[in-house]
Structures are given as C-alpha cells and as structure tokens.
Copies of this chain bind each other. A is one copy, B any other.
C-alpha cells in the first residue's frame, strides 16, 4: 500500500479545470512570448480581482525566479531588502538575491512575521548612523503571505508595514507563493485589492495553488520597472509559449476561482489541527493556513513516518521533532480521513 503523502503543496500537477483547458488549447497555434489572447484575458481578470485597472502583470514560472528578478531589477545597487530571518529569500534561495547584487537585511521574526516596529527601528538606525554612506540602505521590505510558518499578516499589520515603507521611501513587496491559502482562510482579512493598494509589487502564486506552474507578478503602478518584459528575457525567464501561463491564470481568475481554490485545503488542515490537539501534541507557530506544524515526541514521529510522508522541519529539542503536514487543492477527503485514522491509532 502506498504511503499517504502530506509532505508539501506542490506534489501534484494542475487542477483538472486547468488541465482540461490546456488539453483543449494544445494545438491552437498561439502567438509567442505572452502576446497571446490568454495572457491578455488573464491579466484583465487579475486587474479586476485586484480592483486595480492599471496594474502591470507578468507571468513567470517560479517563486525564486520572481523574487530574484523583482529585487534585482527594482532596487538600485546601493539598497538592500529587509526580510524576516526565516524569509524564503533569507534562507532558501541559494543566494539568489545576493547573486543579483543585493544584501538581505535580516529582521527579527515572530512565527515567520515581521513587525512594523522592528522595520522602523532598522530604518531609523540606518538613517541616524554617522557611517550610513558606507552601509546598505534599506530600500524594500519583503514579506510573504502566508509566511514560511503558515501564519498570516492581518490587514492592520500589513497597513502598518506599508506605512513605514511609504514614510521612508522603501518598496513593499509581498511574496504570495501560497496566496490562495491565505485568501481561503477564514481568519484572513487581506484581500487581493488590499495587496494592490498597499504593495509596490506582489506575486500571486500559481505553482502551489492549482496551476501546473506559474506565478503572476503584479505591479499595481505600471512602469515601476521599465522594460520588465525585456528583463524577463534577459533573465532567461521568458517562455516562448507564454500562453501556457496565461491560460492557467485565465482559469484561476475566472469566477473567483483563485479565492475559492484554497478553502477546502484549509478545512482539511483545520481537521488535522483538531486531531493533533486531541492527541495532546503541540501545534507550532499558530498557522491557520494549509501548513500544519507539529512538535512530536520522536517515538511518535517514527510511527507517523511509517505510514505518512511528511516534511521534517527541525529538531526542536532532545527527543522532539517538528514536522509539517501540508494540504493543498489536490488533497482529498479520503486522504484526510486516512491520515486522521493513522494519527488516532498512534
């Protein structure tokens, strides 16, 4: 019998609605390099969902690619980017940001989140430093929604960070690799329109949120990075068959699908959290989204692993390990029932 697999949210291909459309369009002979009808339509729908009719949108194929390009091409050479110490760009992009020429200025993190106050302190410390001309100027704040720990910024928290950014001429960038799982979460009060209103740039994750591959970078004010299209080619991030990405986002943004696609994954995650709590195990980080972090006694971990593929997160203390269960749009009721039965049996 195959093991249950809750290791991550990028295990599957595309949502059936997308797959079907890809199949139908396969031999249509679309024009190249994102000049096709699907890209045009998807962009319109995203603009509408973001209540931002002027937004400039580019489809890329991965989150690290989006982060690397946005930061490299948006920041001048003398600026760096403030990010939580556990941010994806801080830790898990193999130095992509530095390879693009910019320092990641690590800030304290609280369950994966930045606090506006800490950001302000860093900026003021820089501004008041007698040696600041020899230092890296903070030019951007990077956060992810949800964070690496599955937590969410409230609208108030995001407004506070955006305010600090505006007051100090810093860009505000939100990495939405798992954005559908924020939008689908009952606790969330940050809409796509809020992101468009507060951010200088953000991306709407596709790869983990129903698409086969794809991320949609949104610049609410068009022209922020002149010639981003050409820069996409320069970075090697342009698909000749850009219509493949446009088509997927066209499906995701038809009839509010993107805002729905993560909801069931959240309900499934909530059921897992409930079971974990019943079993007396410790939930970590307070994630309300599709990632469930649990600190398990090692003997329990061992039993779980026999039947379920999970992600090892970290060794927290002697005899205890934190693991992650991730649900996704592809998780089925049946899989969850089986998982709960496994957990119950331990």
Contact = CB atoms under 8 A, between A and B. Distances in A.
A233 B62 CA distance: 10
B236 A62 contact: yes
Count the copies: 4
Given A10-B32, A12-B27, A93 B312 contact: no
B65 A236 contact: yes
Interface stretch (A18-26, A160-168, A297-305): A18-26
Interface in A248-264: none
A78 interface: yes
A30 interface: yes
B96 A98 contact: no
A312 B130 contact: yes
Contacts of A30: 11
Interface string A141-177: 0000000000000000000000000000000000000
A19 B23 contact: yes
A233 B93 contact: yes
Interface in A50-102: 61-62, 64-69, 72-73, 76-78, 80, 91-99, 101-102
Contacts of A104: 103
A330 interface: yes
Given A102-B98, A231-B94, A234-B99, A240 B62 contact: yes
Contact of A61 (B7, B66, B69, B239): B239
| Size range of the chain A interface in the assembly | 35 or more
Interface in A1-29: 5, 7-8, 10-14, 16, 19, 22-23, 25-29
Nearest to A225: B76
Given A102-B98, A212-B241, A241-B212, A234 B29 contact: no
A255 to B, nearest CB: 22
B239 A236 contact: no
Interface stretch (A131-139, A183-191, A287-295): A131-139
A342 interface: no
Given A98-B103, A103-B95, A230-B137, A238 B76 contact: no
Interface of A: 5, 7-8, 10-14, 16, 19, 22-23, 25-33, 61-62, 64-69, 72-73, 76-78, 80, 91-99, 101-104, 130-131, 133-137, 207-208, 212-213, 226-227, 229-231, 233-241, 244, 312, 330
